[in-house]
């Protein structure tokens, strides 16, 4: 092979290397990878920022979540509550009131337990699936001033599993809500 051909080959390789370098690092410079690129559409000549695409939120009704709920996982989730609540029938009050028969029970009605003023003010309501779901998602948001020092069960599925388990703490578990056709 002639020296000039070898030189040409080296030069070609170097050019490719520079080219690839530019593609890889150039794109890094152009696109700021720290921030996901926002797509901006132009409407009537004005730039309208498009709100970032939200995750498609699946709206599953509580009735549906309860139908699909897993009671064994609910029992596990109740582990977080067991420190303060007993699930046992005729169980004693701990930090919180006993929870046997909680589904269908009026708020603040365990006779052997002294509730906070905030909870007593809710008197007249009943713990049904919906109130439990809202309360357990964020107790202090639902009843500001509640003495239940617990952040809430944020995961919708865990909460439904837990409520299905709470429902079983009863001689006659309340019927599950019907699914709307």
Two structure tokens written together for 59: 């709206």
Kindly state the smallest distance separating residue 166's Cβ from ligand HEC, in Å: 6
| Torsion angle of the four alpha carbons 55, 56, 57, 58, in this order, in degrees rounded to the nearest 10 | -140
108 binds ligand HEC (CB under 6 A): yes
Residue ranges in 133-152 that form contacts with ligand HEC under rule CB under 6 A: 136, 146-150
Taking contact as CB under 6 A, which single stretch among the options 8-16, 56-64, 67-75, 83-91 is the one that binds ligand HEC? Answer: 83-91
Whole-number Å distance between alpha carbons of 86 and 80: 11
Does residue 101 bind ligand HEC (CB under 6 A)?
Answer: no
On whether the CB atoms of residues 72 and 168 are closer than 8 A, the answer is no
DSSP state of 107: T
**Residue count, binding to ligand HEC (CB under 6 A):** 27
Q: Is 110 in the site for ligand HEC (CB under 6 A)?
A: yes
Q: 156-168 and 129-137 are packed helices; what angle lies between their axes, rounded to 10 degrees?
A: 130
- Interface with ligand HEC by CB under 6 A: which residues? 80-81, 83-85, 95-97, 99, 102, 107-110, 115-116, 118-119, 127, 136, 146-150, 153, 162
């Amino acid at each position: 092979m002639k020296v000039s051909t070898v030189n040409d080959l080296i030069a070609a390789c170097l050019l490719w290397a520079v080219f690839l370098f530019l593609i890889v690092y150039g794109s890094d410079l152009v696109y700021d990878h720290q921030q996901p690129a926002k797509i901006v559409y132009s409407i009537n000549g004005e730039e309208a920022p498009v709100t970032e695409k939200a995750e498609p939120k699946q709206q599953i009704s509580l009735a549906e979540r309860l139908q699909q709920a897993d009671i064994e996982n609910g029992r596990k989730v109740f582990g977080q509550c067991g420190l303060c609540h007993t699930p046992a029938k005729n169980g004693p009050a701990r930090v919180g009131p006993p929870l046997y028969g909680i589904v269908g029970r009026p708020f603040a009605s365990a006779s052997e337990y002294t509730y906070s003023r905030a909870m007593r003010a809710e008197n007249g309501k009943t713990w049904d699936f919906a109130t439990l779901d809202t309360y357990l998602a964020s107790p202090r948001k639902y009843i500001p001033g509640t003495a239940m020092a617990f952040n809430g069960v944020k995961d919708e599925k865990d909460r439904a599993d837990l409520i299905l388990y709470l429902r079983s703490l009863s001689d006659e578990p309340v019927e599950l809500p019907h699914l709307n056709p």
